[in-house]
Amino acid sequence: MQDWKLPWAGGCRCGKTRIAVNAPPLLASACHCSGCQKMTASAFSLTLTIPSDGFSVTSGEPIIGGLHGATRHYFCPYCMSWMFTRPEGLDAFVNLRPSMLDDHSWFAPYIEVWASEKLPWATTAAAHSYPTQPEFPEYEGLIRQYSERSLRPA
């Protein structure tokens, strides 16, 4: 396996909630859905999919925000930075906002999803684009490709 220079540390904008990553990411993505546009006040959200056993909150106590549904979006309770998401029924991983990492300069999305809702001017460097989401069986190949071809921290 190529060197990911783990562990990584990160935190919210104010620094009161801190996280640690001790496992390589499975996938990097950009989501263009209208929900992510509203939650980020931007054109898309960015995600690093991390195995749950390689992710931890090291200080602070994130709170659930967003829609408060089965998919749980976690925010710093003080500065309200959207830090990570635990998708409904997919407890094996956490979707981390890569900008929460102390060094995220190397990040680039490998896939983009919900391109059917993207703003006309929004572009990413993603190698693959999907109108909605990839079919579930496609993820195995995407994860393998990402592990072989993705950018790494310098």
Write the pLDDT tens digit of every residue in 67-122: 888 889 999 999 999 999 998 888 899 999 999 999 999 999 999 999 999 999 99
CA 32 from centroid of its chain's CA atoms: 13
Q: Determine, yes or no, domain membership for 40.
A: yes
Confidence class for position 1, pLDDT limits 50, 70, 90 = very low
Rounded-to-integer distance, Cα 45 and Cα 98, Å: 10
Range of the domain at 16: 8-149
> Does 69 map to a domain?
yes
Note the pTM of the prediction, 2 decimals. 0.91
- The CA distance from 4 to 27, in Å, is 13
If one counts the domains in the chain, the total is 1
* Nearest partner of 64 among 46, 76, 52, judged by Cα: 76
- Burial code (b: 16+ CB inside 10 Å, e: under 16) for 110-143 equals bbbbbbebbeeeeebebebbbeeeeeeeebeebe
Instruction: Report the CATH number that the domain containing residue 126 is assigned in CATH.
Output: 3.90.1590.10
Tell whether 67 is covered by a domain: yes
In a domain, 94, yes or no: yes
